[in-house]
Structure 1
Amino acid sequence: MADYVSIFIIALSLLGLLAVVFEEVIHVNKAQVVLFLGTLAWLILFMFSGSDIHHQEIITGLSENIEEIAGLWLFLLAAMTFVVYLNKKGLIESIIYRFLPEQISERKLLFLIAIFAYVFSSLADNITATLISIALILSLQLPAKKVLRFATVTVFAVNSGGVAMITGDVTTLMIFLAGKASIVNLLLLSLPAFLAVLVLTTLLSFPMKDQIIIRKKREQHEQVDVAIAIVFLTTILTTIGFNVFFDIPPVLTFLFGLSVMFLLARIYGEDTHNHPIFNYIRQIEFDTLLFFLGILLLVGALKEVEALVAFVGIYDVMPTWLANYTMGILSSLIDNVPLTAALLKSDVTMNPEQWLALTYAVGVGGSLLIIGSAAGIVAMSKIQNLTFLSYLRYFVLLLLAYSIGYSASLLMGIWI
């Protein structure tokens, strides 16, 4: 293939990366840009493929790319539909308030919100976990400075909670689907990730000494809502068990769980002509799914022109542990999805323990800057005083917590 084609594909990828970083500046949805550039890159590859042999290689490459994307898409579609249903029914918010006392110290509440954000983000997507946590924080009507501390802990806890579960973070799911880490080993990442959350929460809790009165919301939920919540939790547990014992792909188990949800809704009369259960699929965030589609198409095109070899050059000049640590810091500037996809496509050589460390790094590293993760962007859009600079004042504490968690993940890898 001609050099100018490779240069053009690389230029398109850089343009896509800039569109992601400066989304809030250009006011164009990043999903729209990367989907356009990703499909354009493959069109260019086909039009300038040259020989029949090279043309066939591009067809094979696109087929493999689409197959990977399909597995990711279907898994996320099933998981997000569950969460949309439970969130719309108010079941998630109701559970939160059920466990909160009527009066609590600010310090204890900070820890409770951190734990909730950490746990819930491992079961649901980061955006939903952030929205629910921020809604709870804003309902407390705290002073602006204290809201910033709660928001900072939430963003870090949400990103930390997702790294250990394939249901919680897309990059974790991508690394798992690529066969780089097992579910059991990924679950062990929850220990260093939780340690990091506790460290940050402790550091930010010192100035908080007041008491908070919580106005509880009491709602009655129908049997079908509780039944579907049980199906969701059962689906998560069986996904892990089926994969460990029978090597069943997670996407198959989650689609089966989704089908059970649909049937239960029908049996309980929740699925009606005026309110069909399939409406909840339409309410999931398709812009997120389209963003993943565009990014993975772009990275797939980069692989076809062998541009990813240069990307992993950092692993030639640094020890693997330091390179992974650096990748985590880079993920606060560059979206962790393209970072992870590029590393997976470049076939960088690492053992399972090193892949686990990378999983932690790219999952939690985005918390270092408010623009480095979807959780940060969502929190910034909901809290007026949460800006790039106001979040930056906690950078040292965030970096310390991230570094402690990363060190613990390395030690855990040695133990494994």
Structure 2
Amino acid sequence: MHVLILSLIALAFVLIIIEDVIHLNKAKSTLFIGSLVWILAFMFPEGGNIEHVKEGLNENLLEIATLWLFLMAAMTFVAYLNQQGLITQLVYRLLPSKIKLRSLMFMIALLGLLFSSLADNITASLIMLSLLASLKLEPKQTLKFAALIVFAVNSGGVSLITGDVTTLMIFLADKVTITDLFLLIAPAVFGVMMLALFLMRGINEEVTLPKFKRPIAFADKLIALLFLMTIVGTLVMSVAFSVPPVLTFLFGLSVMFITHRIIYKSETKPNVLEYVREVEFDTLLFFLGVLLLVGMLKELSVLDFLPQLYQVMPVYVANYFVGILSALVDNVPLTAAILKSGIEMDTADWLGLTYAVGVGGSLLIIGSAAGVIALSKLTELTFITYMKFFHWLLMAYTVGYLGVLAIANL
């Protein structure tokens, strides 16, 4: 049964890769196989212990529900701001009417790093992808910018305990301190800048950006401010009181609904709750399917082999390959398996692992939340088209990882 389930999981990832060939939406295929493997686990439990399967499913569903609700709240904010054209207006006001694609690429890279440092990876991805869509670039250029955004967003959060779950896990295990994590900032920025240089090779064009300046309504400004306050409040409440980010985001969303209702008392104005319908549920269903598949891998103890990796190669080499592995397997169970294994590392190696599991998922489009969101929102982006940048992404990841080891050991 284990072999059958693992084969189905492998099939699910293959179907994602060949989506354009078979014309089967990846959200449908992953949800189908993700739910099927759990049904099989209940029908044929290992050793007849069905309680263990129930416990595993409940734990997995809790993680999924938390992510779903968080995504729904963040995507509703972004859907409203997009519908009102606020993000587009801000972009057009910040950028000149004409700009070279090289300069634009550096600006996008820095914005991706900045947003993911201030907010979580998911919120930063939604904002950056909305920004990218508003630029209306050619498909070939859009793909390059998408790869850069995914890598930049994942790189920006590794140095903050609120920026990436795996960073928080390693910090809570007392493996690194807050000041240790600050050492990751320079290598993360350097890795992103290197990727931008790789991707801009052969690009000399200058693009003309349309100018549609118009007054921004007071209500839109207020809701944009609420969005910013929600992000800041999430960071503060998480660090100060350990409040789960999903709670603060849901609270911020409810304040947005109430504020909109107070401003627009007239029934002629559309109900702000309608913007929940603007959320791309394909993205949410795809997340659901992927997390069910990853949860089953965890249930089958597929990650138990990880400690053996550290017995056959030096720690810093093993950490590097764990980062690459995180492009295939969710980085949270990977990090948990290493923390529970009792592997001894010095601070430099723990920082190397923090960077590796935070950024390594960028190598494949299905390896991180930022990648999955990009895959769902950009029609030009597929598993195969993203793979065209694999060598550049691997080089940037390697440069950043070596930078972490160099600075940490110094």
| TM-score category, normalised to shorter length | 0.7 to 0.9
Structure 1 91/35 Cα, relative in aligned 2: closer, same or farther at 3 Å?
A: same
Q: Which residue of 2 aligns with 1:339?
A: 330
Displacement of 1:264 = 1.0
Aligned residue for 1:111, secondary structure, equals: helix
Displacement of 1:48 = 2.2
Q: Which residue of 2 aligns with 1:59?
A: 54
- Which one of the candidate residues 353, 356, 379 is aligned to 2:354? 356
- Contact 1:106 1:210 survives alignment (8 Å): yes
Q: Which residue of 2 aligns with 1:44?
A: 40
Aligned residue for 1:275, secondary structure, equals: coil
Q: Which residue of 2 aligns with 1:32?
A: 28
Amino acid at match of 1:160: A
The answer to whether structure 1 residue 111 and structure 2 residue 103 are counterparts is no
Give, in whole Å, the separation in 2 of the partners of 1:78 and 1:118.
22
Question: Counterparts of 1:3-402 in structure 2 under 5 Å?
Answer: 5-49=1-45, 54-120=49-115, 123=119, 124=123, 126=125, 129-136=128-135, 138=137, 148=141, 151-165=143-157, 173-175=164-166, 179-181=169-171, 189-205=184-200, 212-269=207-264, 272=267, 275-310=270-305, 314-329=309-324, 334=328, 338-340=329-331, 342-344=333-335, 346=337, 349=341, 353-366=351-364, 373-374=371-372, 377=375, 381-382=379-380, 392=388, 396-402=391-397
Q: Deviations over 1:34-75 (max 9, x none)?
A: 2222222222222223777x2222222222221122222211
Give, in whole Å, the separation in 1 of the partners of 2:286 and 2:310.
27
Give, in whole Å, the separation in 1 of the partners of 2:206 and 2:28.
45
Structure 1 22/309 Cα, relative in aligned 2: closer, same or farther at 3 Å?
A: farther
Amino acid at match of 2:12: G
What TM-score do the two structures reach when normalised by structure 2?
0.79
RMSD: 3.9
Aligned residue for 1:92, secondary structure, equals: helix
Displacement of 1:18 = 1.5
Structure 1 stretches of 5 or more lacking a match?
none
- Contact 2:148 2:196 survives alignment (8 Å): no
What TM-score do the two structures reach when normalised by structure 1?
0.78
Displacement of 1:157 = 3.2
- Contact 2:365 2:386 survives alignment (8 Å): no
Q: Deviations over 1:330-376 (max 9, x none)?
A: 566x4xxx43255256456467535412333334323799xx94477
Amino acid at match of 1:241: V
Aligned residue for 2:403, secondary structure, equals: helix
Displacement of 1:277 = 1.2
Structure 1 279/192 Cα, relative in aligned 2: closer, same or farther at 3 Å?
A: farther
Q: Deviations over 1:100-119 (max 9, x none)?
A: 12344454333223333444
Give, in whole Å, the separation in 2 of the partners of 1:212 and 1:319.
48
Give, in whole Å, the separation in 2 of the partners of 1:136 and 1:62.
42
Give, in whole Å, the separation in 2 of the partners of 1:365 and 1:342.
18
Displacement of 1:281 = 1.4
Displacement of 1:131 = 4.8
Give, in whole Å, the separation in 2 of the partners of 1:127 and 1:159.
14
